């Protein structure tokens, strides 16, 4: 049985659950990572030290993270010894399982909603990562579920931030609470909270500034926002989502470490996964931070913001390759 047939059978029961968004959105990562692994398996065939060294380079190149890669390679060595695997073709299904295990974790990846009133979701992150776009797409997602949504334009410092959120509000049919540029963000949040209560809103999505004069100013501003929110709704915010740009790879991980420690982040949003060949950053973040990835951006359409699912992520990486390569192999067999 060919390598691709073995791999296909090992995940056949799950591939039908893979959404089009995950398959399409991970195409660059599939080409940049999985196809390199497949090529390595075909070229080397035998599992030896050179095979592991080359696999290590591929994984590091995909931004899986050095510490995670070393752990993964050690685990694979152990599996090879335990199962007495000699043919490299038998190792890729094991690799996909190991990556799935690294991503799975024990934490809850779902968004936590308030069962008794307005759910307040606060968005943090540096400028340029796609924060405002993510808020607009999530507003669309909740509105499609029949929920009443309000957005708060709390980034009063970045030029055009308020107008950008207003454009999204018009696109998805959601009210935006705002003040003038340069206003106190905490005052905007107060107005938004009052509006949410008066209008019986289910969801309040709050934008915040990505950069002030320095990091301590930014954290001070966020703490002020927290105090205003908790005074109005004691158990809020129900989620604090940090938005990261997946195309920046290890820089995104560094941002999450620096920013996440200080701002009470409960979950991560990885945008622009469709624009990078380094989708392994999802694995690195999951391993090096105790913060779950809750949402991923897999394209430009509103529907392309998806709840993160480790099963679909792994199968989105591997499934598209199988069909195409298996057909090629059948042609070769003829």
Q: Go through 201-216 and write b for each residue having 16 or more CB atoms within 10 A of its CB, e for each that does not.
A: bbbbbbbbbbeeeeee
H or E element: which one contains 306? strand 305-307
Binding-site residues sit at 125-132, 207-211, 271-274
Q: 124: which residues sit within 8 A by CB, 6+ positions away?
A: 131, 208, 210, 222, 240, 241, 242, 243, 259, 263, 265
- Residue 168 CA to residue 151 CA, distance in Å, equals 10
Confidence (pLDDT) at 9: 53
Which CATH number is associated with domain 3-107+313-333? 1.20.120.140
CATH superfamily of 119-309: P-loop containing nucleotide triphosphate hydrolases (3.40.50.300)
Annotated binding site for GTP: 125-132, 207-211, 271-274
Q: Say if residue 133 is preceded by a cis peptide, omega within 30 of 0.
A: no
Secondary-structure percent of the chain, ordered helix, strand, coil, rounded to 5: 60, 10, 30
Please tell me whether residue 35 adopts helix, strand or coil conformation: helix
Domain boundaries, the chain: 3-107+313-333, 119-309
CB-based burial of residue 184 (10 Å sphere; 0-12 exposed, 13-18 middle, 19+ buried)? middle
User: Mean pLDDT, consecutive 10-residue segments, the chain of 334 residues?
Assistant: 47 51 82 82 84 90 86 90 83 82 74 93 90 96 96 92 96 96 94 96 94 64 91 94 87 76 82 84 81 89 88 74 41 42
| DSSP per position, 38-98 | HHHHHHH-B-SHHHHHHHHHHHHHTT--HHHHHHHHHHHHHHHHHHT--BGGGTHHHHHHH
Residue 134: the pLDDT is 96
Q: What is the DSSP letter of 295?
A: E
Model pLDDT, residue 278? 77
Cα 58 to Cα 147, 190, 322: the distances in Å are 44, 49, 19
The answer to whether the 3-107+313-333 and 119-309 domains have the same CATH topology is no
pLDDT at 213: 43
Predicted local confidence at residue 222, as pLDDT: 86
Q: Is the pTM of this model over 0.85?
A: no
């Amino acid at each position: 049985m060919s390598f691709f047939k073995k791999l296909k059978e090992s995940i056949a029961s799950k591939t039908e659950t893979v959404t089009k968004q995950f398959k399409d959105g991970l195409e660059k990562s599939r080409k940049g990572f999985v196809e390199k692994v497949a090529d390595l398996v075909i070229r080397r065939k035998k599992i030896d030290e050179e095979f592991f060294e080359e696999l290590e380079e591929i994984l590091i190149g995909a931004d899986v993270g050095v510490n995670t890669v070393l752990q993964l390679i050690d685990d694979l060595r152990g599996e090879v010894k335990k199962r007495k695997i000699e043919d490299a073709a038998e190792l890729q299904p094991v690799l996909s399982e190991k990556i799935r295990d690294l991503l799975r974790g024990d934490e809850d990846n779902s968004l936590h909603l308030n069962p008794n009133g307005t759910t307040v979701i606060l968005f943090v992150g540096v400028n340029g990562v796609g924060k405002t776009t993510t808020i607009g797409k999530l507003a669309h997602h909740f509105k499609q579920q029949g929920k009443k949504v309000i957005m708060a334009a709390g980034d009063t410092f970045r030029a055009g931030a308020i107008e950008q959120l207003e454009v999204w509000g018009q696109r998805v049919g959601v009210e935006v609470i705002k003040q003038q540029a340069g206003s106190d963000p905490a005052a905007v949040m107060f107005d938004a909270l009052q509006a949410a209560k008066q209008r019986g809103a289910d969801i309040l999505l709050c934008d915040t500034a990505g950069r002030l004069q320095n990091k301590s100013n930014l954290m001070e501003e966020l703490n002020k926002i927290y105090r205003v929110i908790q005074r109005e709704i004691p158990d809020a915010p129900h989620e604090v989502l940090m938005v990261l740009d997946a195309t920046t790879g290890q820089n995104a991980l560094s941002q999450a470490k620096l920013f996440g420690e200080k701002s009470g982040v409960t979950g991560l949003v990885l945008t622009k996964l469709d624009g990078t060949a380094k989708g392994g950053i999802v694995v690195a973040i999951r391993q090096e931070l105790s913060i779950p990835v809750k949402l991923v951006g897999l394209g430009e359409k509103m529907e392309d913001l998806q709840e993160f699912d480790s099963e679909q992520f792994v199968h989105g990486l591997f499934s598209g390759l199988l069909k195409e390569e298996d057909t090629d192999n059948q042609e070769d067999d003829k």
